[in-house]
């Protein structure tokens, strides 16, 4: 069993550490944390930091593993996981994605995403978000809902390179792009899927929308009542139980 965790924006793999620490000791040696280029890993020259570029990056990483993986993705990482499950089910044993709501026709981007998709305004917002030293960035991440000490660890990985990757990524998925890709969502049912539905997360569509998308993908939706976008940090023990129950029952 190989468990692969993939994070999103604007963070590093540090967001997974508390959850991984709550997994049974027998599972921890099986864990691999993959950092998308620009998000805790170098951004190679010539790499297309687009949604499909990151999908292809993940598929390439999975192809290097000895066995199909149990994938867990958060934020945009959840999108890459879902895309890999649809495109290359032979590399996947199961998948977990909390951002499947973006594949529904009535999904709309949150306000910060719209800013990042707007030339000029996006550059200004990114500059403000990553300005200052690590302590200042840590304070911003805490204000965004990331608890300490993870906020401090994330801040150390932030900078201009991540900012460039964010702008390229968000501008590669203008309104309705994910909904169009969602026409093939049923392909994800080729492997067991789980959709964590943090009921307090306002960035990934309504609870009803996420449940609807989960049904189309043949996946189980698990409500995480009272948790928000950073559910893996807000209650890592609960998140770990959700995952282990899913893996045990698939």
CATH number of the domain within which 103 lies? 3.40.50.1820
Query: pTM value?
Result: 0.97
Q: Which of 188, 185, 8, 13 is nearest to 92 (CA)?
A: 188
Asked whether residue 40 is domain-assigned, the answer is yes
Asked whether residue 84 is domain-assigned, the answer is yes
Segment 86-101 mean pLDDT:
98
Note the pLDDT of residue 129: 95
Note the pLDDT of residue 147: 96
The boundaries of the domain holding residue 84 are: 2-108+176-249
Asked whether residue 146 is domain-assigned, the answer is no
Q: What is the pLDDT of residues 184-196, one digit of tens each?
A: 999 999 999 999 9
Asked whether residue 14 is domain-assigned, the answer is yes
Q: What is the pLDDT of residues 16-33, one digit of tens each?
A: 999 999 999 999 999 999
Quote the number of domains for the chain: 1
For residues 88 and 82, is the Cβ–Cβ distance under 8 A? no
Asked whether residue 89 is domain-assigned, the answer is yes
Asked whether residue 30 is domain-assigned, the answer is yes
CA separation (Å) from 228 to 95, 99, 129, 196, 231? 20, 12, 20, 11, 5
Asked whether residue 144 is domain-assigned, the answer is no
Asked whether residue 81 is domain-assigned, the answer is yes
Residue 246 pLDDT grade (very low, low, confident, very high; cuts 50, 70, 90): very high
Query: How would DSSP label each residue in 183-244?
Result: GGGGGGGGS-EEEEEETT--SS--HHHHHHHHHHTT-EEEEETT--TTHHHH-HHHHHHHHH
């Amino acid at each position: 069993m190989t468990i692969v965790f993939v994070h999103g924006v604007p963070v590093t793999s540090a967001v997974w550490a508390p959850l991984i620490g709550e997994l049974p000791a027998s599972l921890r040696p099986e864990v691999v944390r993959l950092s998308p280029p620009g998000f805790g890993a170098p951004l190679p020259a010539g790499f297309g930091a687009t949604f499909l570029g990151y999908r292809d990056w993940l598929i390439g990483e999975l192809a290097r593993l000895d066995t199909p993986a149990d994938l867990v993705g958060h934020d945009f990482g959840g999108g890459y996981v879902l895309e890999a499950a649809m495109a290359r089910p032979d590399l996947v044993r199961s998948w977990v994605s909390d951002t499947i709501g973006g594949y529904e026709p009535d999904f709309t981007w949150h306000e910060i995403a719209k800013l990042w998709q707007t030339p000029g305004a996006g550059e200004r917002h990114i500059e403000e978000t990553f300005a200052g030293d690590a302590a200042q960035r840590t304070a911003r991440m805490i204000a965004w809902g990331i608890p300490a000490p993870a906020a401090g660890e994330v801040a150390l990985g932030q900078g201009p390179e991540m900012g460039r990757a964010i702008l390229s990524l968000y501008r590669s998925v203008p309104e309705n792009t994910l909904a169009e890709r969602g026409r093939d969502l049923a392909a994800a049912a080729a492997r067991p899927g789980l959709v964590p539905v943090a009921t307090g997360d306002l960035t990934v569509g309504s609870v009803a929308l996420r449940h609807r998308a989960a049904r189309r993908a043949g996946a189980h939706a698990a409500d995480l009542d009272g948790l928000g976008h950073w559910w893996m940090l807000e209650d890592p023990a609960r998140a770990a139980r959700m995952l282990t129950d899913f893996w045990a029952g698939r």
